[in-house]
Structure 1
Amino acid sequence: MKNPCKYRRTVWMFTRIFLILKILSGNLFEILYAVSRKIQRAIQRL
């Protein structure tokens, strides 16, 4: 009866990886958005 526990553990691991990737991608999107805003302001000043 060890297989169900092992399966549950792998599923939990995958969900954790997915959540981490989701958080990282969200942060990357916010950073890119902020950088693009700064670039637009710099272009407007020129």
Structure 2
Amino acid sequence: MSEVKKSLKESKTTSVVAWVVILFGIVLGLAFILSYGQVETRND
């Protein structure tokens, strides 16, 4: 019983970490695109 509970907790933690990484990547990507776009318009 405790092994199943531990496994469930680990998988939940893993999915939470995965979502944080995914969201962080999306935010970082958007920030990069926005800053790159601003640089491009400045050079124009």
When normalised by structure 1's length, the TM-score is 0.83
Aligned position for 1:3:
6
Over the aligned positions, Cα root-mean-square deviation in angstroms equals 0.6
In structure 1, the residue matched to 2:26 is 23
Q: Which runs of 5+ in 2 are unaligned?
A: none
The runs of 5 or more residues in structure 1 that have no matched partner are 42-46
TM-score, length of structure 2 as denominator length: 0.86
| Ranges of 4+ aligned residues in structure 1 off by more than 4 Å | none
Identity %: 17
